[in-house]
Structure 1
Amino acid sequence: MSPENAPLVLVSNRGPVTYEDDGTVKRGTGGLVTALTGLASHRDAVWIASALTDGDAERAREAGGKPIEVTSPAGGTYSVKLVASDPAAYDRFYNIFANPMLWFIQHYLWDLSNAPDIRRHEVEAFEWGYNVVNEDLADAVVEQIDGVDDPVVMIHDYHLYTLPGLVRKARPDAFLHHFVHIPWTQPDAWRVLPTRIRNDLYEGLLANDIIGFHTRSYRWNFLQCCRDLLEGYEVDFDAGIVRTPDGREVWIRHYPLPIDWNATRNVASSPRVSEFEGQLLRRRRDHLILRVDRADLSKNVLRGFSAFDLFLEQHPEFSERVTFMAQLMPSRTDVPEYAEYLERIEALVAVVNHRHGTPDWMPIHLKLRDDLEEAMASYKHYDVLMVNAMFDGMNLVAKEGPVVNERNGVSILSENTGAHEELGEFALSVNPFDIQETADSIHAALTMDAAERARRADGLRAIITQRDPGDWIDWQLEDIRKKRA
């Protein structure tokens, strides 16, 4: 089969859907699935992903390892190949090495005076977990591209850093493109890992032809890491190229991820969103502050609530006039650090509500659930959108909110989010660790005059609607064509 006629092969840990034990199908969650759903809709593709549930594993067995046609609850039909790994290996892969080890490194989350401690437990999680799952998915890729001349494989995120090397060994002619959806940290952050493990990860990743990141700064950090942590590799910062010891050139690029803003607006106009709007507007105070996030350590939820606490203390004139609505999706609760973090969030909310609340007013309204339509109703009516993540690959909330908001709401945006490179000019930029600055930004946003609110909101909308996921995909495919030529 010629490469022009062959479908792209996409590889990620999480697929576009998951099968529940009762046979129902749920849409996959997260920004990566959103991005790849656009790619799968844009061009014929086979999507290879891990079987995450018993239902996924059963469906994979029924399909005999072949791709299956799947209709997503969110719309669209995809050809999906689900790969079931040994459950013990997958647990090591996901819960010990990928999360928290790599996630914490790539978000600067380790308190290095206390953690991590690398023992045999962690090393075996890499050898008998991370590598095993990468091998399983690599085998599925090699099987899928059998008989295809010069196939194109697009690999996604931090779960699959060793997979490209395995595919490259089996199919030297394959074109491998890897997009990393989370931040890439500076060299010292990676020194947490034993040298051998670190080298295996980098060598696997550098088996690709192109490696993509969301921002210029992540791209720059990766080039620095290759220079400082590896031997025998030549790094050309100006060209964005890493030359491997065997003479290959790896292009290092950045492709900021846009949202499907038309689809977002379509969801915002749905009847169920209107129902939530009615409930929200009946209870609405003068001002609404909103955050929509996973309850992830990197999202900096505690400091956001602490800044609101400080704002209420310093500006009592806003008492009973403002509500901070936080819709948080519990995340990775089987990882002890995350379970503890969720408990701390609930405890801080209780403290702030007790300290400032009245019989008729609860300052923080915490919702621990994932409901897109409910979030969309809140997007339409916030006065302030808080995105104060410590570090974030892109953060699509920073783009979704402004594109549907009807009140010229003001964005408070951490300078450490990927979205800040594009949107910082029209947001109130904050250092996510500076609680006083964040409190001051809340006050500035709530007291900003209408003309300035409109200027900033118009600027955000103009940037967000310049591109859509099709453009993001075309940008990457054009680089693939250039490099192949």
Structure 2
Amino acid sequence: MNADRAPLVLVSNRGPVTFGEDGSVKRGGGGLVTALTGLASHRDAVWIASAMTDGDAKRSQEAGGQPFTVESPAGGEYQVRFVESDPDAYDRFYNIFANPMLWFIQHYLWDLSNAPDIRRHEVEAFEYGYNVVNEDLAQAVVDEIDGREEPVVMIHDYHLYTLPGLVRRARPDAFLHHFVHIPWTQPDAWRVLPTRIRDEIYEGLLANDIVGFHTQAYRRNFLQCCRDLVGLEVDFDAGVVRNVGGHDVWVRAYPLPIDATATRRVAQSDRTHHFEQELLRRRRDHLILRVDRADLSKNVLRGFSAFDLFLEQHPDFREKVTFVAQLMPSRTDVPEYAEYLERIEALVAVVNHRHGTPDWMPIQLKLRDDLEEAVAAYKHYDVLLVNAMFDGMNLVAKEGPVVNERDGVSVLSENTGAHEELGEFALSVNPFDIQELAASIHAALTMRPDERARRADGLREIITGRNPGDWIDDQLADIRRKRESQPAAP
């Protein structure tokens, strides 16, 4: 069967929409939802996801646990099937094992001299939380593809590493494709996990036919892990893990593009213009911008420390530059994140007290998630700061240059996925080198206009060269090629 016509199931932790208890519908959050909405609305696909709210659970119950049609507020119509898990199991799955355990491993965030201490609490979170939710979603997938010939199941992200093995055992003929949206770290980072848990994760992932990442670097790391941690034969040049349970696993890189047309549409909206007018009214000579979640991996504190150092070393810029930081609070029920947000606010207060005047506040901190407000700032920055310690892709690095009207300069961490594509036209920085970051801010603000224009044009050309449809097409093409290259399942 042609992969483009095969029955298609998408499965992720978070779905395309969430429901309020009153039945109201909101677009689901996160870059993953953005990436998948185009596929779900243009293919005969069913999107299976966890019920995230009481409203989701109620809507699922009204549909008898079966798929139902929903229109997203952002446009598009989807077939959605919500899966309810036991609340305690889901809490263990999400708040103990997926976050922070896996997230911290895959962003090199653990301070190994102090954490983690893995005890029964964490082991049981994997057994009775992570595995339970994966089993719930896997059962929904198996139900959905029952009676369908050669179905394609596209699994997404770090929440669902054990799900593919469960589906494979039930349906050996299914084609399983797993895309990991966050970094894949090198083998030693994974040695934090108890061997049995680590083996279960790799067994689940290697039940897939194709495993995809944003970058070639993450692809290489995964292949190296399969060799060093699991002892499998790996072909690094071909990107193949050989003879895993009788089949080969293709490992591929599919860099995620943005929908530049949609981003530009937001830039022209009335609400964006309203924020733009307010920003221009308060604007100084120069504007530095960052738009992020308040996540430890985003390296917010070092960004502010570098700005503090920049002002100390270049006092002639005082009262001429403003650093606007729009941060969305993230996972505030995880203690490490709540503490991080407190440290961010405290550092902003210190920098503003040290350098500010009665008429000028160096850092404007906005703790909210507002797309139009962010896009209004995208249009007018002189410097876009993306200094994440490690990042799967970072779509902000792509959205900003598409709508910026001032030939703004991107200061981009070499450890972001976006750097593999955009590094040539950005100012590359080591995210841990605060002096280099401070010097890059100065270089960006003093750069010749012709050099700013050259870099801005280069960024726009790369960013607009592909769209999310191309990203999906590349994956479907590999599904088709691999299916045609392998014998039919017995």
Structure 1, 400-409 or 60-69: larger mean CA deviation: 60-69
Deviations 1:84-105 (A, max 9, x none): 1000000000000000000000
Q: Secondary structure, in 3 states, of the residue corresponding to 2:379?
A: helix
Q: CA deviation at 1:5?
A: 4.4
Match of 1:65 in 2: 65
Q: Does structure 1 retain, via aligned residues, the 8 Å contact 2:97–2:125?
A: yes
Match of 1:171 in 2: 171
Q: Does structure 1 retain, via aligned residues, the 8 Å contact 2:2–2:480?
A: no
Q: CA deviation at 1:243?
A: 1.8
Q: Does structure 2 retain, via aligned residues, the 8 Å contact 1:290–1:386?
A: yes
Match of 2:123 in 1: 123
Match of 1:462 in 2: 461
Q: Secondary structure, in 3 states, of the residue corresponding to 1:285?
A: coil
List gaps (5 residues or longer) in structure 2. 485-490
Match of 2:214 in 1: 214
Paired residues for 1:230-249 under 5 Å? 230-231=230-231, 233-249=232-248
Runs of 4+ in 1 over 6 A off after TM superposition: none
Q: Does structure 1 retain, via aligned residues, the 8 Å contact 2:70–2:80?
A: yes
Once residues 396 and 45 of structure 1 are traced to their aligned partners in structure 2, the CA distance between those partners, rounded to angstroms, is 25
Match of 1:103 in 2: 103
Match of 2:295 in 1: 296
Match of 1:399 in 2: 398
Q: What letter corresponds to residue 116 of structure 2 in structure 1?
A: P
Q: What letter corresponds to residue 307 of structure 2 in structure 1?
A: F
Q: What letter corresponds to residue 85 of structure 1 in structure 2?
A: S
Match of 2:283 in 1: 284
Q: Does structure 2 retain, via aligned residues, the 8 Å contact 1:329–1:369?
A: yes
What is the TM-score of this pair, normalised by structure 1? 0.99
Asked whether 1:183 is paired with 2:183, we answer: yes
Q: Secondary structure, in 3 states, of the residue corresponding to 1:292?
A: strand
Match of 1:138 in 2: 138
Match of 2:488 in 1: none
Q: Does structure 1 retain, via aligned residues, the 8 Å contact 2:4–2:476?
A: no
Q: CA deviation at 1:4?
A: 5.7
Deviations 1:29-86 (A, max 9, x none): 1111110112213322110000011111111111111111111111111111000100
Q: Does structure 2 retain, via aligned residues, the 8 Å contact 1:3–1:148?
A: no
Deviations 1:431-485 (A, max 9, x none): 0000000000000000001000000000000000000000000000000000000
Match of 1:201 in 2: 201
Once residues 41 and 77 of structure 1 are traced to their aligned partners in structure 2, the CA distance between those partners, rounded to angstroms, is 5
Match of 1:74 in 2: 74
Q: CA deviation at 1:266?
A: 0.7
Once residues 346 and 42 of structure 1 are traced to their aligned partners in structure 2, the CA distance between those partners, rounded to angstroms, is 43
Match of 2:155 in 1: 155
Once residues 323 and 401 of structure 1 are traced to their aligned partners in structure 2, the CA distance between those partners, rounded to angstroms, is 17
CA RMSD of aligned residues (A): 1.0
Q: Does structure 1 retain, via aligned residues, the 8 Å contact 2:318–2:355?
A: yes
Q: Does structure 2 retain, via aligned residues, the 8 Å contact 1:299–1:389?
A: yes
Once residues 446 and 4 of structure 2 are traced to their aligned partners in structure 1, the CA distance between those partners, rounded to angstroms, is 56
Once residues 123 and 284 of structure 1 are traced to their aligned partners in structure 2, the CA distance between those partners, rounded to angstroms, is 52
Once residues 229 and 80 of structure 2 are traced to their aligned partners in structure 1, the CA distance between those partners, rounded to angstroms, is 37
Match of 2:305 in 1: 306
Q: Secondary structure, in 3 states, of the residue corresponding to 1:80?
A: strand
- Report sequence identity in percent: 83
Q: Does structure 2 retain, via aligned residues, the 8 Å contact 1:42–1:470?
A: no
Q: Does structure 1 retain, via aligned residues, the 8 Å contact 2:12–2:155?
A: yes
Q: What letter corresponds to residue 310 of structure 1 in structure 2?
A: L
Q: What letter corresponds to residue 452 of structure 2 in structure 1?
A: R
Once residues 453 and 206 of structure 1 are traced to their aligned partners in structure 2, the CA distance between those partners, rounded to angstroms, is 45
Paired residues for 1:317-332 under 5 Å? 317-332=316-331
Once residues 71 and 157 of structure 1 are traced to their aligned partners in structure 2, the CA distance between those partners, rounded to angstroms, is 24
